[in-house]
Structure 1
Amino acid sequence: MSTAGIVVGILSCFVGVGLFMCIAIALYLGYTQGEQMSKCFKNSASSITSATHRHSGPYGKIQLVGGISFVVTFPRFFLKHGILDAADAGNFPLHYKRKLIALQWSFIGVFISMALLACLGWSGILD
């Protein structure tokens, strides 16, 4: 195996650890603060904080936190389509908002990194 292949392998390990950390943080937020975050969307569409997400185990908690973080990170899209109420977006607690925006961009960065490393591996440049 070439040196470039080893470097890509090590970077892939870092991306895997990053993904694991993002999932662990989402689970932690879902189990400890999911109910409080769900209560902040009283006037918005129920698809953001569906009751099935809250009561369907770890996968549901990840879906709940992922949905809320997506809404908090990109509120214009949801306001434009009538899913999010402007009052709910403005009244969302700032400490939750910062955590969820950082988590959302971390997930996006991890998935982009994963895709780039996969394309680099499949391209044959490293052979």
Structure 2
Amino acid sequence: MSQSSGDTIFLVIGLIDFAGALISIGISLHLAYTKMDVMLNHLQNCPAVMIRAPLRNAGPWGNMLLLGAIMGVMTTPKLYLRDGGANAEDLKNFPADLKRKLIVLQWTGWGLLLIMFGLFATIKLELI
């Protein structure tokens, strides 16, 4: 049984995407467990984050949900500033390197999800 080159490319892209998702989850958990105190201290006046702060004690899922809220505030601050979910001073004083990591992690996650949906659509449309 031989595979076509399209099947091989599909498999490689799928494996790379899956590995990227696992690495992204690992980096997210690392940030959630090592930098959460720093992030919460800098965002004490942001209701969108502080309302979810008790999730910090809810295990890995809670930490990931709280990190997701923080990444959302960092990625789309205008949306949160407009509705009062974020504080401009807190966002300005947030560490720049950590902010960049959170934004890159957020967009990487969206990109990997988009690739995954593209692979799923390829299977359903029987393009390979």
Q: TM-score, normalised by structure 1?
A: 0.92
> 1:29-58, CA deviations, whole angstroms, 9 ceiling, x for partnerless residues?
00011111011111110x414233210111
Task: For 1:81-92, list aligned pairs within 5 A.
Answer: 81-92=83-94
Runs of 5+ consecutive residues of structure 1 not aligned to the other structure? none
Alignment partner, residue 100 of structure 1: 102
In the alignment, the residues of structure 2 paired with residue 3 and residue 123 of structure 1 have an alpha-carbon distance, to the nearest angstrom, of 18
Q: Which amino acid counterpart does residue 11 of structure 1 have in structure 2? A: I
Percent sequence identity over aligned pairs = 31
In the alignment, the residues of structure 1 paired with residue 78 and residue 114 of structure 2 have an alpha-carbon distance, to the nearest angstrom, of 23
Over the residues paired in the alignment, what is the CA RMSD in angstroms? 1.2
Number of paired residues?
A: 125
Alignment partner, residue 48 of structure 1: 49
Q: Which amino acid counterpart does residue 125 of structure 1 have in structure 2? A: L
Q: Structure 1 residues 24-33 or 90-99, which shifts more?
A: 90-99
Q: Which amino acid counterpart does residue 25 of structure 2 have in structure 1? A: I
Alignment partner, residue 80 of structure 1: 82
In the alignment, the residues of structure 1 paired with residue 22 and residue 86 of structure 2 have an alpha-carbon distance, to the nearest angstrom, of 29
Task: For 1:105-124, list aligned pairs within 5 A.
Answer: 105-124=107-126
> 1:69-113, CA deviations, whole angstroms, 9 ceiling, x for partnerless residues?
111011011111110011111111111101101111110111111
Q: Which runs of 4+ in 1 moved over 3 A?
A: none
Q: Structure 1 residues 48-57 or 64-73, which shifts more?
A: 48-57
| Aligned partner (choices 62, 65, 73) of residue 64 of structure 2 | 62
Runs of 5+ consecutive residues of structure 2 not aligned to the other structure? none
Q: Is the 8 A contact 2:77 2:86 kept in 1?
A: yes
